[in-house]
Structure 1
Amino acid sequence: MKARIPILTVVTAGSLMLAGSLLAQTQSMPTATQSMPTATQSMPTSSPPANATTLPSSAPTPPPPPGGTQAQFNSPQGKVIINSEVPQVAAGPAPSFDQLSGGARYITEDQASAYPPLANDFLYVDKGKTGHITRAEYEHWVENK
């Protein structure tokens, strides 16, 4: 019985590989003659995104938002402009280590979520990659943020 197990394994693996290669060969791949959108062509869309502005093609382009980015493309409805920016977080001063840790020797990721800037920097602050922040790591982060 033991002599058949390696043979059965080889036969099964070989048949799965053969079936996979046959399946891959039967699926159609787009060729160069078929219509594929390129980087210079615009892809058809049903409607512009929610943060987009549609203007007539002849309209002047408004400036991008302060501190943000702007992307433009032409659609059948006109020129579409998408503005993007990251809002500032008003979190106030950093709380003390004891306040965040609840009296423990370290701050966990759940405890760090009480102060959004620390939650965003958690993996950066956790220098030892231990899953928690020590008092020294936290104080270093507060001094340099």
Structure 2
Amino acid sequence: MRHWRATLALSVLLLATLPATARDLAEGMALCQAIAQDQVRLACFDSLAAPDAIARFSGKGGSITPRFEIAAPSRLNFTSKDVVMVIYLLDEAGSVVQNLHRAGAGDGTFLIERAGTYSVQVNATGAWEIEILPEAGG
């Protein structure tokens, strides 16, 4: 557990140093490629593709995302690539804050109004994606 936290802290520091302009994209790609831990490396590449995203997750079937923290109202966007997707926004204690459903392939959204630490439990029949973005004007 201690090793994982140290790796995460180092990765967050590394992510904060990523280039902000398109001309520096090659440098950012090289930084991401150097990360050994798969999940952290993927988050690094995701941050290059969507630099404003607080968190991005994807998977297939059931899963619980790693925790993420928001400091202001934020938008939880979700995409189902199959027939059924049921997700639960969980607070830091693991209690359900909001239950969300998606019947059929497509997108949905939910405004997380309160700052805090959250995770998302996903139950899906296929592939899915979740993105947490700062709310415009939030």
Q: Which has the higher contact order (CA 8 A, sep 6+)?
A: 2
> Fold conserved (TM > 0.5)?
no
Q: Give the TM-score category using the shorter length.
A: under 0.3
Q: TM-score, normalised by structure 1?
A: 0.21
Task: Name the structure with the higher strand share.
Answer: 2
Q: TM-score, normalised by structure 2?
A: 0.22
Of structures 1 and 2, the larger Rg is shown by 1
Task: Name the structure with the higher helix share.
Answer: 1
